[in-house]
Chain A
Amino acid sequence: MIKVRSLNKSFGKKQVLSGINIDVYDGETLVIIGPSGTGKSVLLKNIVGLVTPDCGSIIIDDTEIVKAKKDVINEVQKKMGYVFQEAALFDSLTIEENVAFGLRTLTKLDESEIKQRVVQCLSMVGLENVEKLKPSDLSGGMKKRVGLARAIAYQPKYIFYDEPTTGLDPIMTDVISDLIINLRQRLKITSIVVTHDMRSAYKVADRIMMLYKTGVIFSGTPAETENTDNEIVKQFISGSSKGPIETDRTFSQME
C-alpha cells in the first residue's frame, strides 16, 4: 500500500503540490487527472524518489522513504516500475538490452531466463522481432510499448504510468488501456496512472482523483466522477473551455 501524507513540493517560488494526502490500496488502479501544470507528474516522481519533497511523508509497504537511507530506498525501488511520458528508452542500447536492463540490475536471473522474459514481455505489449532494433528504429507508439515492457519485465508490485497514451492513435490508446487492465488482473499490479485521456481513465480506473491548484479536489469511482456535481471536475471531463478552471487560452481572454 502507498500512503502519501501532507506532501509539499515547490520549485523556486512556485508551489506545485501542497498538503497532498493519498492512499493507494494493493491491487488498485488509481488514475490522476488534472489540467497541465498541476503537478501530476511531480507527484509520481516524488513517490518513486526522482524528486525529493519539501516536506511530508511517503510510506510504501510500511517503509517511510522520504528520509530513509539509500539502501532502504533501493530495496523499495525494486518494487516500482515507471513508464515515462516519452518512453525514455536508452538510445545506445537495443530494444532487448533496454527491456533486460532492470532484470540485470534488479534481479538475479541468468542470461537465458532474461532473454526468455524479454521476449515474453515484448509479446505481452504486442511486439515481436524487434529485439535487435534500436529505439530510433521504432515509432512513438512502439517506443511507449517497449517502455511498458521494460517497466513490467522485473515484475514490480507497483507501476506508475506518466501519460501512457499521450500522442497515440485511438486504437493504440485502447491497446495500452487493455494492457494496464490485463496487468492488474494477471499480475495483481498496483498502478497509478497520470492521464488527460478521460476515455482511457474511465476504462482502467478503480478510482479517479483530480489535482487542481496544488491540491486534491476530488476522489471517486469512475461512475462517481461521471456524475459529480463538482463544477471543476465537470468542466475538465467535458473538455470545455468555459467554466471555473482558469486558463489563459480561453477566447474571452484572448479577445
Chain B
Amino acid sequence: MNKARTLVKFIQFLDVTFGAPKRLLLYVFDGVGSAAAMTFETFKWIAKGDINPKNTISQMVEVGWSSFPIVALTSFFTGMVLALQVGSATSNLFNEPVYVGTVTGFSLVMELGPILTAIVITGRVGAAITAELGTMKVTEQIDALYVLGTNPVKYLAVPRFLACFFMLPLLTAASNIIGIYGGMIVTVNSWEVTPDMYWTEVLDFMIVRTFLHGFIKSFFYALIIAIVSCHKGFNTSGGAEGVGKATTNSVMVSIVLILVSDYFLTAFLVALNIK
C-alpha cells in the first residue's frame, strides 16, 4: 500500500515537474507542424498558378506602396544617425572623419536596411495580416469562405504571401538607397565631405555581391513575416482578446525569428562568399 502511494506521489511529482515543459514542447511542435502544413499548401497553390490577381495586386499595394513612407522615413534617419556616429568615432580616432560613406553604405546594405525594413513591415503589415485574418476567424468569415467553395489559404494566404515575398526586397532596396542619401546629407553638412567623395567611399568597396547579401536575406524575412502572420491569424480563437493576443504574438515571433535567422543567414552567405 505504501509502495503504491509512493508510486502515485512520484508520478504526480513527474507531472508537476515536467508537465509544463511537455505542454510547451507540444505547443511549439504543434505550431511548427501546422505552420509547415499551411506553407506547403500555399506553395502548392502558387505552383498550380491558382492565384487571385485582384487580391494579390491589392495586397502588393498595401505591403509595398503603403509601407513606403514609413520605410523611407526610418531608413533616412538611420542613415543620418550612422553617418553622424561613424564620423564622430573616426574623428576621435583619426582626427578626421574617414570612411564615413563606406561604413554607412556597408552597414545599411548588408544589415540595417534589410533588418529595419523587415521589422517595420512586421509591425505594420504582419500585425495587420494577423489582426485581419484573426478577426475573420473569430467571426466565422473563414468558415464562410470554406462553405462558399473557396479554400481560405488560396484566397487569403497566397496573395499576402506573394505580396510580402516580392515587396519586401523592393522596399529593402529602396531603404538602402534612401538611407545612403540620409547619410550623405549629414556627411556633407557635419563632416565637410563633398558628395562626390561620399559616393566614392560608398561605391569603392561595394560590389554586386555586397548588395545581394542583404537582398537575399530580405526574401527570407518576407517568408517569415508572411508565414507567421497568416498562421497566427488562421489559428486565432477567443474573440477580441484572442485577436489582440494573436497579433502581439505574431509580431513577437516574427521579430525574434528575423533576428535569430539573421545570424545564420549571414554565416551561410559569408561562407558562400556572398558579401
Do B147 and A80 touch across chains, with their CB atoms under 8 A apart?
A: yes
Do A82 and B149 touch across chains, with their CB atoms under 8 A apart?
A: no
Q: Across the interface, which residues of A come within 8 angstroms of B50, CB to CB? A: none
Q: Across the interface, which residues of A come within 8 angstroms of B147, CB to CB? A: 48, 50, 77, 80-82
Stretch at the interface among A14-22, A23-31, A98-106, A187-195: A98-106
Do A82 and B144 touch across chains, with their CB atoms under 8 A apart?
A: yes
Do A88 and B141 touch across chains, with their CB atoms under 8 A apart?
A: yes
Do A49 and B140 touch across chains, with their CB atoms under 8 A apart?
A: no
Determine if B12 is an interface residue (Cβ-Cβ < 8 Å). no
Do A102 and B139 touch across chains, with their CB atoms under 8 A apart?
A: no
Do B143 and A102 touch across chains, with their CB atoms under 8 A apart?
A: no
Contact of A84 among B135, B143, B150 (CB under 8 A): B143
Q: SS class of chain B's interface: helix, strand, loop or mixed?
A: helix
Do A86 and B149 touch across chains, with their CB atoms under 8 A apart?
A: no
B131-163 to A contact mask, C-beta < 8 Å, 1/0:
000011001110111111110000000000000
Determine if A218 is an interface residue (Cβ-Cβ < 8 Å). no
Q: Across the interface, which residues of B come within 8 angstroms of A81, CB to CB? A: 147
Tell me how far the C-beta of A108 lies from the nearest C-beta in chain B, rounded to whole angstroms.
Answer: 12
Do B149 and A78 touch across chains, with their CB atoms under 8 A apart?
A: yes
Q: Which chain A residue has the least Cβ–Cβ distance from B58?
A: A92
**Chain A contacts with B in 39-89, Cβ cutoff 8 A:** 45, 48-50, 74, 77-78, 80-82, 84-86, 88-89
Number of A-B contacts (CB under 8 A): 45
Q: SS class of chain A's interface: helix, strand, loop or mixed?
A: mixed
Q: How many angstroms between the C-alpha atoms of A49 and B143 in the bound complex?
A: 10
Do B149 and A74 touch across chains, with their CB atoms under 8 A apart?
A: yes
Contact of A90 among B144, B146, B149 (CB under 8 A): B144
Contact of B148 among A45, A86, A91, A105 (CB under 8 A): A105
Do A105 and B141 touch across chains, with their CB atoms under 8 A apart?
A: no
Q: Across the interface, which residues of B come within 8 angstroms of A74, CB to CB? A: 149
Do B141 and A91 touch across chains, with their CB atoms under 8 A apart?
A: yes
Q: How many angstroms between the C-alpha atoms of A150 and B145 in the bound complex?
A: 11
Do B143 and A50 touch across chains, with their CB atoms under 8 A apart?
A: yes
Tell me how far the C-beta of A166 lies from the nearest C-beta in chain B, rounded to whole angstroms.
Answer: 14
Q: How many angstroms between the C-alpha atoms of A101 and B136 in the bound complex?
A: 16
A210-234 to B contact mask, C-beta < 8 Å, 1/0:
0000000000000000000000000
Q: Across the interface, which residues of A come within 8 angstroms of B148, CB to CB? A: 101-102, 105-106, 150
Q: Across the interface, which residues of A come within 8 angstroms of B149, CB to CB? A: 74, 77-78, 102, 105-106
Tell me how far the C-beta of A100 lies from the nearest C-beta in chain B, rounded to whole angstroms.
Answer: 10
Tell me how far the C-beta of A94 lies from the nearest C-beta in chain B, rounded to whole angstroms.
Answer: 14
Q: Across the interface, which residues of B come within 8 angstroms of A45, CB to CB? A: 143
Q: Across the interface, which residues of A come within 8 angstroms of B135, CB to CB? A: 91
Tell me how far the C-beta of B22 lies from the nearest C-beta in chain A, rounded to whole angstroms.
Answer: 16
Q: How many angstroms between the C-alpha atoms of A89 and B135 in the bound complex?
A: 12
A156-194 to B contact mask, C-beta < 8 Å, 1/0:
000000000000000000000000000000000000000
Q: How many angstroms between the C-alpha atoms of A48 and B135 in the bound complex?
A: 22
Q: Across the interface, which residues of A come within 8 angstroms of B144, CB to CB? A: 82, 84, 88-90
Tell me how far the C-beta of B41 lies from the nearest C-beta in chain A, rounded to whole angstroms.
Answer: 11
Of the candidates A74, A80, A84, A150, the one having the most CB atoms from chain B within 10 angstroms of its own CB is A84
Can you give 26 contacting A-B residue pairs, CB < 8 Å? A45-B143, A48-B147, A49-B146, A50-B143, A50-B146, A74-B149, A77-B147, A78-B149, A80-B147, A81-B147, A82-B144, A86-B140, A88-B139, A88-B140, A88-B141, A88-B143, A89-B144, A90-B136, A90-B141, A90-B145, A91-B136, A101-B148, A101-B150, A102-B149, A105-B148, A150-B148
Q: Could you list 20 further interchain pairs (A-B, Cβ under 8 angstroms) beyond the known A48-B147, A101-B150, A105-B148?
A: A50-B146, A50-B147, A78-B149, A82-B144, A84-B144, A85-B140, A86-B139, A88-B139, A88-B144, A89-B144, A90-B136, A90-B141, A90-B144, A91-B135, A91-B136, A91-B141, A102-B149, A105-B149, A106-B149, A150-B148
Closest 3 CB pairs of A and B: A88-B140, A88-B144, A102-B148
